[in-house]
Amino acid sequence: MTAFVFNEPNFDDHEQVIFVSEPKSGLKAIIALHNTHLGPAMGGCRMWNYVNEAAAVNDVLRLSRGMTYKNAVAGLPIGGGKSVIIGNPKTDKTSSLFEALGEALDRLGGRYVTAEDIGTSPADMANVAKKTSFVAGLGETGDPSPYTALGCFVGAQAAVKFHLKRDSMEGLVVAVQGLGHVGFDYARRLHAAGAKLIIADIDELALERARMEFGAEVVSVDAIYDVAADIYAPCALGATLNPTTLSRIKASIVAGGANNQLQTAEVGDLLRQKGVLYVPDFVINAGGIIKVCYEYLNKPEATVEAHVREIGSTLLEIFERAAHEELPTSVVADRLAEARFRH
């Protein structure tokens, strides 16, 4: 039989990959610890109806690696990991399923700490917590997304300072794609700083709220790529930066909270060639993990904001290096992370 994990395109010398099966609850899960040099691996638990086991392996390897990079660049004392539960989050959830996951995490003795992710909720994490203390983001101090939005805002400020040589957002036009937990709060901050907003979402209610509160101009979900804007802020889906959208986007800065914005790594270089300053997604959207990590480590809530604001100075360092070395910002961000966790 061919090696199934070691040959996987997303396998990147992950330290440990654990397959968990617990027949009573029906739990089938995979836990991947990518790198723990900086501390215990932290990253959410995704529940998804994967088409097959290979798709689940692919996802957990890719996502856990991403967490190592995100946590390292954010300057957190944690490594990268992720877990996936194979199942339909709408129909297959039971408390015993998450308790069984908690038991599996407990056996790992703290090498991996989980949290909520797509398909799981703070309530599910509370069930995990019945069996282990290696779980974060139980919602005790609320939703982390306002901190993600704060990180996006300071990231956009850094980009404007570097690329447009401006200290103010006054009068800049920002195209915000997705007015959900992150996008709405980010839009609120942009509006308060004097930016004009053009917005798109599939949720009519969110659009109406943003139109009323921020005087935002609404366009269709497809038209958001064509609008005349200074900043494009993807806050909904992944892979929105691809050769097709690149030929349409007018903005000279991309600064948004969505994960995995580049369809392929090459798009980072295409953006650079086009003179667009791309703010690497995993750097700008780390506010939420900073908040969750602080909560887990019992650090005072009051210190979270200062750490999230450091995203701005980290980004300025990345922009300067990228310009100096004539490299895409995405490549420089990866190298910065690697220098921190590969020691």
Residue ranges that bind ligand NAD, judged by CB under 6 A: 144-145, 148, 177-183, 200-203, 206, 221, 235-237, 257-259, 285, 288
Q: How many Cβ atoms sit within 10 Å of the Cβ of residue 262?
A: 22
Q: How near is the Cβ of 203 to ligand NAD at its closest, in Å?
A: 4
Give yes or no for a contact between 145 and 181, defined as CB atoms under 8 angstroms apart: yes
What is the residue type of 53?
A: E
* Residue number, 102 or 234, with CB nearest to ligand NAD: 234
Catalytic residue (one of 82, 93, 196, 291)? 82
* Residue number, 102 or 287, with CB nearest to ligand NAD: 287
* Residue number, 80 or 111, with CB nearest to ligand NAD: 80
Q: How near is the Cβ of 234 to ligand NAD at its closest, in Å?
A: 8
Helix (H) or strand (E) run with residue 203 in it: none
Which residue is it, tokens 């780390």?
A: 286
> 3-state secondary structure string, 243-305?
HHHHCCCCCCEECCCCCCCECCCHHHHHHHHCCCEECCHHHHCCHHHHHHHHHHCCCCHHHHH
Backbone angles phi, psi at 299, to 5 degrees: -85, 150
* Residue number, 99 or 153, with CB nearest to ligand NAD: 153
Nearest alpha carbon to residue 132 among 112, 103, 159, 175: 103
Residue 216 DSSP one-character state: P
Q: How near is the Cβ of 222 to ligand NAD at its closest, in Å?
A: 9
Three-class DSSP category at 324? helix
Q: How near is the Cβ of 184 to ligand NAD at its closest, in Å?
A: 8
* Residue number, 24 or 90, with CB nearest to ligand NAD: 90
Q: How near is the Cβ of 146 to ligand NAD at its closest, in Å?
A: 8
Please state the length of the chain: 343
Give yes or no for a contact between 69 and 265, defined as CB atoms under 8 angstroms apart: no
The answer to whether 299 is a known catalytic residue is: no
**Distance between CA 53 and CA 313 in Å, rounded?**
41
Catalytic positions are: 82
